[in-house]
């Protein structure tokens, strides 16, 4: 009985470990200025030609007093973008800034109530 329990525990640990490694392989995370930027799908980092560091600076400049709470590299409407959610202390909701990951152009700045 102990051997069966050990074998089952080993199998479960292997499956969980493999699933965790698979998830990490799909979504590379890079840290820039203390901000974790996650790619939405594998391979996006290789396609980004505008630096994540510069994109962070642009997003912060567009939302004075903002603090980045979430960051992602994703494709939206056929365009590769760095997507940032920012929170400004004392304001409701969040700001969302998209920076084109190829050109560096700020393509979206909006505020979402919530």
Contact criterion met (CB below 8 Å) for 102 and 49: yes
Structure-block tokens of residue 44: 């996006």
Domain boundaries, the chain: 29-112
d(CA 16, CA 84): 31
| Top-level class of domain 29-112 | alpha beta
Give 62-91 pLDDT, tens digit per residue.
999 999 999 999 999 999 999 999 999 999
Give 2-57 pLDDT, tens digit per residue.
554 444 445 444 544 444 444 445 689 999 999 999 999 999 999 999 999 999 99
d(CA 47, CA 93): 31
Structure-block tokens of residue 35: 């901000």
Q: Is 2 exposed, middle or buried (0-12, 13-18, 19+ CB in 10 A)?
A: exposed
pTM above 0.85, yes or no: no
């Amino acid at each position: 009985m102990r051997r069966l329990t050990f074998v089952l525990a080993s199998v479960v640990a292997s499956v969980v470990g493999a699933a965790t490694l698979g998830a990490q392989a799909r979504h590379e995370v890079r840290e820039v200025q203390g901000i974790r930027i996650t790619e939405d799908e594998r391979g996006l980092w290789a396609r980004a030609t505008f630096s994540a560091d510069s994109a962070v600076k642009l997003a912060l400049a567009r939302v004075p007093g903002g603090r980045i709470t979430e960051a992602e590299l994703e494709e939206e409407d056929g365009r590769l973008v760095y997507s940032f959610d920012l929170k400004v202390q004392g304001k409701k909701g969040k700001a969302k800034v998209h920076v084109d990951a190829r050109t560096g152009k700020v393509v979206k700045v909006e505020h979402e109530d919530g």
